[in-house]
Amino acid sequence: MKVEDFSADSDKARELAHKARPWVDKLARLGYATKGLVYTIIGVIAAMAALRGGGETADSRGALEEIVRQPYGRVMLLVVAAGLACYALWRLTQAVMDTEDKGSEWKGLAVRAGYACIGFVYFGLGYSAVSLVLGGDAGDSSDEKSRYWTATFMVLPFGRLLIGLAGLGFIGFGLWQCYKAYKRKFQKKMKRGEMSEGADKLITGVGQYGFASRGVVFGVVGVFLIQAALRARAHEARGLGGALHALEEQPAGPWVLGVVALGLVAYGLLMFALALYRRIDV
């Protein structure tokens, strides 16, 4: 397909999306709120582990399992599953409709492809939530998935190199999250004129803390991937839960884990703020 054809299709899709704007706005805001809930639960579980001086940390799957254990947990989880599907649809809408005006050059298409990948990830998380509602399990943990894919790529030609590059990618993404925190880039997507001055300052501080903490976690995941590649040991790869546990194993680990855990809670709270104040352009 030529770039011109892709642009024409995108223009038609944008026109259709504009007609459906009220629904897109609602699904995006519900999606951000649900993402905020998941990150808040992950952060709270990790913070409790830090306070106990040891214990189980959680990833997205662990957050879903925590929800289903609560009173009326299956009903709550069904709502969460719907919210995750909404967030996934919003990300796919960003990719197809180019709501962020990334354009149709290769850089813009790469960013939009990233939006689509995020959408599919959250569709998968929503599927895990539905499985729990129906009495099944939520699937593999982030650690198990990370080790599986690392082992899969390890046996391919140049597999260790690919794993190492993936690790560098995670570290780069983590640094990008920290840069976004430093430059307050998330503010550009928010309707700050609708906030009071105090709320604006609070959300900005919470958002910076959240993005920086998320960046640390992604960086740790990347370090473990590089380590697995260098040592040819797939079992050393870790996901979100394993990265949090690794922080706990460091000197002054409970304090480090506690700071990062509260940062993940802060990131979750920022998602709630985005649910209220984000500009949804379609």
**Model pLDDT, residue 7:** 53
Alpha carbon dihedral 71, 74, 80, 84, in 10-degree steps, equals 150
* Domain that residue 130 falls in: 3-277
State yes or no: pLDDT of 128 exceeds 90: no
* Mean pLDDT, residues 179-204: 91
Query: Does a structural domain hold residue 159?
Result: yes
Mean pLDDT lowest among 218-222, 263-267, 276-280: 276-280
State yes or no: pLDDT of 139 exceeds 80: no
**Over the chain, what is the mean pLDDT?**
85
* Mean pLDDT, residues 137-150: 79
State yes or no: pLDDT of 150 exceeds 60: yes
Quote the number of domains for the chain: 1
pLDDT, tens only, 204-254: 999 999 999 999 999 999 999 999 999 888 888 888 888 888 888 888 778
Query: Does a structural domain hold residue 184?
Result: yes
The pTM (predicted TM-score) of the whole model is 0.85
Query: Does a structural domain hold residue 148?
Result: yes
Say which residues have a Cβ less than 8 Å from residue 27's Cβ, sequence separation at least 6: 86, 87, 89, 90
Helices 3-19 and 73-97 cross at an angle (nearest 10°) of 130
**Model pLDDT, residue 15:** 62
State yes or no: pLDDT of 6 exceeds 50: no
Query: Does a structural domain hold residue 282?
Result: no
* Mean pLDDT, residues 53-57: 66
**Model pLDDT, residue 273:** 95
CB-neighbour burial class of residue 249 (10 A; exposed 0-12, middle 13-18, buried 19+): exposed
**Model pLDDT, residue 209:** 96
CA dist 35 → 13, 24, 88, 199, 267 (Å): 26, 16, 10, 21, 10
**Model pLDDT, residue 179:** 95
Query: Does a structural domain hold residue 143?
Result: yes
Helical residues (DSSP H) of 2-137, grouped into ranges: 3-19, 21-52, 60-68, 73-97, 106-133
pLDDT, tens only, 78-107: 999 999 999 999 899 888 888 788 888 888
Let me know how long the chain is. 282
Query: Does a structural domain hold residue 160?
Result: yes
Copy the structure tokens of residue 182: 């430093």
Say which DSSP state 236 is in: G
